[in-house]
Amino acid sequence: MKSIHFSSRAVVAIILVIALVLGFGIKLYDIQIVNEEFYKAQNNAVKTYTVPLEAARGEIVDRNGNSLVTNRQGNSIVLDAAYFPAKTDNAARNQVVLNLIKLFEANGEEYVYNLPLVYDGGSIAFSDDEKAVETMKSKDMFNLQSYATPQNCFDTMVELYGLEAYDIETAFKIGGIRYELTRLLFAIENPITIADDVSDETVAAIKENGDTYRGADVKAVAYREYTDSNLAPHILGTIRKINAEEYAELKDSGYSITDSIGESGIEAAMESELRGIPGELTIKIDSDGNVVSKEVTKNPIQGNTIVLTIDRDLQHLAQEKLKETCNSVSISRSAGAVVVEDINSGEILAAASYPTYNINDYYEHYSDLIEDKRTPLFNRFALGTYAPGSTFKPMMACAGLEEGVLTESTKFYCNGSWQYYDITFHCLNNNAHGGETVRTALRDSCNIFFYNVADNLGIAKMNEYASMFGLGEKTGVEINEAKGVLAGPASAERYNKTWQMGDTIQSGIGQSDNLFSPLQLCNYCATVANKGTRYELHFVKSVINTSTGSVDEKGATVAEDLPISENTFNIVQEGMRMVATSGGPASVFSRISTPVACKTGTSQVIKNGQKVNNGFLITFAPYDNPEISIASVIELAGSGTSTAQITSSIIDYYYSNNTDERPAQQTGELLG
């Protein structure tokens, strides 16, 4: 008989098999005998899921409580994973989606399609959104290489979602919704909206045909509504669905991937106040996948109400007058902005930009708005920066008086031109004003006078004072704004230039590299008017807490108290008063009863290879007891005087209709 010899390797293998069998046996004994009751309970356990309930956004009202942005009740269609066919059952999912698509199309509803593939009837191509295409190819979506073609992506979608039985157009429609479910992490805790603001007919059909539209549910939604969709769109701003980057940043703050978020304007700036507090829906599901119960365990709380500083009716007037003036200059080319400020608080009473747009049509006509050469989406009062021209001269007068390079009686002689080394500078239109004091130089807008002031001050000192007045500095408004540019060696370096002495002279009359926004010009004028207190500008007057009713007043914030004497301001104000009574805009301002002080400005720019002039006007009123300041700019206007009609209309309306403000006392001075 032969002896059986086991190698050490075979022995080890036998031992491992025996150990594995014993392990399974022990585990089976534990499950079936020792802990039988525990595992039975686990098998029958009810799982609990929490679904966030969206809170309505807060409302936005004007300073008098007039509604600007509210909410209206509407219905959206969501897919609920608690009832929708299982992920493994592609055929059932696709049939439900197709049933919904047929219903949507029959009732004229728009439904979701964010798949970055397009089909023109002949070929498949990527959409123009490169980031969306990159997301589609990513590991979490189709898991394709970066070089994958549109056809590769389509084929992957067909295989992933089981769309082989459908023609290409139907596959695109179904795939678009299926892709959205994947992209937005469809789950019981995360229902996905597939159609917004649907009709009552669609709602009724889905509620009455639960089997046909299995998993589809009607969700009551608060949609943004505007009492006047043409009013203040650049201030109010827009909302949109949160993007992936924002979600990654904000998910720890309670945002979901399906939330909306403020995109621009006050909607974005006050997002944390407007958003509200989401509620919670608790869903319990048994081991067979049946919904045991659905209960609202936490009610959503609407966002807070934002009270703006603007006056609705004044805003409307400012917009209309701005439009009229721009169109009178050039109906196809001119543009502009106007800002009205309370000089004793920094509250913005009105701010308009033209051309403008209808906020209700923003998303529907977004492509057209973007391509419009007149850039209606561009906020000119906050983001537009302009060479201020002669509106810069009141600041120059303050600096010159304070630094002692001139007194109220100092005279510089103007014969229409001024020789500076080898450069000849000219007064506007080669006017020869003769001997000019600071007051008459402001009235006549004499360039020669302010060339002399600039030469004596130097660029560093000029910019020191300009900064005090907030020129070339952000104003503090809640919405996005431009900083602007103060001309000087630093600005020249940015433009790859060398700063020359002649640049300092040009800067003294608001030319060179100086670029300021209408917001800055208005606040600068207000600082002159109130004799040295520069406030931070703001659009938000207060916030009303929806839960408690408490009011958080924002109040005035002083940005800087200027170290400039009252006498200096008196002299400069008197010069600005002379502009209104005997300067270019005198004929316009003589028609209103409120006395004003102002300064016109003209700056030359090149558009389409041609030299054209922009017109500016800064104004405060009433002259004897200032309350408001106004800054306006009209592109291509030719002169600041041509903007005076906007300003006079605003002042006349303000003091004829504003019962909250004390009317100005008349001084008895003849206007003319």
Neighbours of 238 (CB within 10 A): 17
No. of helices (H) and no. of strands (E), the chain: 23, 25
pLDDT at 3 over 80: no
Residue 65 pLDDT greater than 70, yes or no: yes
pLDDT value at residue 669: 30
Task: Find the length of the chain.
Answer: 672
Question: Which residue did the predictor score with more confidence, 274 or 6?
Answer: 274
Q: Write the pLDDT tens digit of every residue in 544-602.
A: 999 999 999 999 999 999 999 999 999 999 999 999 999 999 999 999 999 999 999 99
- SS3 string, 329-397, reads HCCCCCCEEEEEEECCCCEEEEEEEECCCCHHHCCCCHHHHHHCCCCCCCCCCCCCCECCHHHHHHHHH
Task: Count other C-beta atoms under 10 Å from residue 27's C-beta.
Answer: 10
The reported pLDDT for the residue numbered 318 is 98
Q: What is the pLDDT of residues 129-148, one digit of tens each?
A: 999 999 999 999 999 999 99
Task: State the Cα–Cα distance between residues 338 and 646, nearest whole angstrom.
Answer: 8
Of 71-75, 194-198, 306-310, 640-644, the range with the lowest mean pLDDT is 640-644
pTM value? 0.87
DSSP assignment of 211-270 equals TTTTTEEEEEEEEEEESSTTSSHHHH--EEE--HHHHHHHGGGT--TT-EEE-SHHHHHT
First and final C-alpha spacing in the chain: 138
pLDDT in tens, 380-405: 999 999 999 999 999 999 999 999 99
Span 642-669, average pLDDT: 70
pLDDT digits (tens, 9 = 90+) for 351-377: 999 999 999 999 889 999 999 999 999
